[in-house]
């Protein structure tokens, strides 16, 4: 399993390279397409680009192939951004016959399996990058070979990768659903309501609190749908629910500190938006038709489920 154990090892490599911090703590990652290399080939590439071949030891295990070859991911970060880095980036694209793309943009193109690999890689690599020192002794921590933990030789503390629980809720008044946008979302994109769970809260309590905090509605009933690992801004376990509000309880009070806007959308509007693949082009009057998150986001699944349910109940009526 060691990334240095050589030729039998197939390194499914995602080159992840930090471009620059854009919004608050959000980093924009560029990734090369999923490229598989054997360890020896990767060592050659690292040498060619003047990087220390021992860097390969920073790889993290992200899965394995059907033929039981271990897949590792490696951060090929080119260091601080300067013009020579941009040059190296384009040289690397030529060498690897791939191209860098922002991770969020890649979500429109990746299949489910590759999305999961990339999310795991991004979350693990970023966790290792940010947990190099022991919080108790202040000494450097050491990664195990797979990258599933870090150990402090001085205090014997073991650190495991962290995930934050997040609830995401699609609220419905039984005929319409509630979608919202934050100012940081791409123009025109709306999603379901989301929020980090507080310590000590249950999933149900977090859903009720988040919906009340963000749009001032009281949830009547809620139903769990599915979950997803989400790597932005760090590592979250997203737990998705459908919720309903009672009749006559639909007046929204948007919390402007959290949301830019929120509103109720009809089945027809949502079904039309669901058919759009990616950000639509501007209308003639310059406005952007509203659009929804890509399939890789669990918000998409929640919205799709709601449309299916509404469509089948309107067909029955
Ligand atoms: N996959 C999807 O479909 C999907 C859709 C919408 C949102 N999301 C994700 O859900 C997450 C939460 O949504 P939100 O931004 O509306 O949350 P939110 O409503 O809880 O507000 C975010 C704020 O919560 C605070 N916070 C509390 N605990 C935090 C923690 N552990 N990590 C970071 N910030 C914490 C911070 O002040 C932050 O600015 C975001 O990371 C977003 O990327 C995913
Ligand atoms: Mg929120």
Ligand 2 centroid distance, CA of 236 (Å):
13
Query: What is the residue with the minimal CA distance to atom 19 of ligand 1?
Result: 195
Give the HSE-up count for residue 52: Cα atoms under 13 Å, Cβ half-sphere: 5
User: Could you give the domains of the chain?
Assistant: 10-128 (no CATH), 131-162 (no CATH), 164-316 (3.90.79.10)
Buried b / exposed e along 155-185 (16+ C-beta atoms within 10 A): eeeebebebebbbbbbbbbeebbbbbbeeee
Q: Which atom of ligand 1 is nearest to the CA of 182?
A: 16
Pick from 170, 112, 166: which is nearest to 309 by CA?
170
**pTM for this model (two decimals):** 0.85
Question: What are the residues facing 143 on neighbouring strands?
Answer: 150
Q: Which mutation among 194, 229, 293, 298 tests ligand 1's pocket best, with the greatest number of atoms within 8 A of CB?
A: 194
Q: Is 53 exposed, middle or buried (0-12, 13-18, 19+ CB in 10 A)?
A: middle
pLDDT at site 317: 63
pLDDT at site 35: 56
Ligand 2 centroid distance, CA of 8 (Å):
45
Query: What is the residue with the minimal CA distance to atom 43 of ligand 1?
Result: 232
Q: Is 233 in the pocket of ligand 1 (CB under 6 A)?
A: yes
pLDDT tens, per residue, the chain with 317 residues: 333 332 223 344 444 443 333 322 223 333 434 556 677 778 888 888 888 888 888 889 988 888 887 888 887 765 544 455 666 778 877 887 777 777 888 888 888 888 888 889 889 998 999 999 999 999 999 999 999 999 999 999 999 999 999 999 999 999 999 999 999 998 999 999 999 999 999 999 999 999 999 999 999 999 999 999 999 888 999 999 999 998 889 999 999 999 999 999 999 999 999 998 777 777 777 788 899 999 999 999 999 999 999 998 877 66
Ion ligand 2 residue ranges (Cβ < 5 Å): 194-195
Ligand 2 centroid distance, CA of 225 (Å):
18
pLDDT at site 77: 64
Q: Is 168 in the pocket of ligand 1 (CB under 6 A)?
A: yes
Ligand of minimum distance to the alpha carbon of 236: 1
DSSP letters spanning 76-127 = ----S--HHHHHHHHHHHHHHT---EEHHHHTTT--HHHHHHHHHHHHHHHH
Q: Is 185 in the pocket of ligand 1 (CB under 6 A)?
A: no
Query: What is the residue with the minimal CA distance to atom 36 of ligand 1?
Result: 196
Q: Is 230 in the pocket of ligand 1 (CB under 6 A)?
A: yes
pLDDT at site 27: 32
Q: Which atom of ligand 1 is nearest to the CA of 214?
A: 19
Give the rounded distance of the alpha carbon of 241 from its chain centre: 18
Ligand 2 centroid distance, CA of 255 (Å):
10
Query: What is the residue with the minimal CA distance to atom 29 of ligand 1?
Result: 196
Q: Is ipTM over 0.90?
A: yes
pLDDT at site 57: 87
């Amino acid at each position: 399993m060691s990334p240095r154990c050589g030729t039998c090892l197939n390194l499914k490599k995602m080159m992840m390279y930090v471009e620059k911090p854009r919004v608050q703590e959000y980093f924009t990652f560029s990734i090369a397409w999923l490229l598989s290399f054997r360890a020896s080939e990767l060592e050659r590439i690292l040498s060619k680009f003047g990087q220390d071949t021992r860097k390969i030891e920073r790889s993290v295990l992200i899965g394995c192939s059907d033929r039981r070859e271990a897949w590792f991911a490696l951060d090929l970060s080119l260091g601080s951004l300067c013009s020579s880095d941009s040059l190296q980036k384009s040289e690397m694209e030529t060498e690897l016959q791939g191209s860098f793309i922002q991770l969020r943009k890649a979500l429109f193109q990746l299949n489910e399996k590759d999305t999961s690999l990339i999310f795991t890689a991004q979350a693990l690599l970023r966790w290792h990058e940010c947990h190099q020192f022991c919080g108790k002794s202040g000494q450097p921590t050491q990664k195990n070979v797979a990258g599933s933990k870090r150990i402090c030789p001085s205090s014997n503390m073991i650190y495991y990768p962290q995930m934050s629980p997040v609830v995401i809720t699609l609220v419905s008044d039984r005929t319409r659903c509630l979608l919202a946008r934050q100012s940081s979302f791409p123009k025109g994109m709306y999603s379901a309501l989301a929020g980090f769970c507080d310590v000590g809260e249950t999933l149900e309590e977090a859903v009720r609190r988040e919906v009340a905090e963000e749009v001032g509605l009281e949830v009547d009933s809620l139903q769990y749908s599915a979950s997803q690992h989400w790597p932005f801004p760090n590592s979250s376990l997203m737990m998705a629910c459908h919720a309903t509000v009672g009749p006559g309880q639909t007046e929204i009070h948007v919390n402007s500190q959290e949301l830019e806007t929120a509103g109720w959308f009809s089945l027809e509007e949502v079904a039309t938006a669901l058919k759009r693949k990616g950000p639509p082009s501007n209308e003639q009057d310059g406005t952007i038709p509203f659009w929804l998150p890509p399939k890789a986001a669990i918000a998409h699944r929640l919205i799709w489920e709601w449309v299916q349910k509404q469509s089948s109940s309107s067909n029955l009526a």
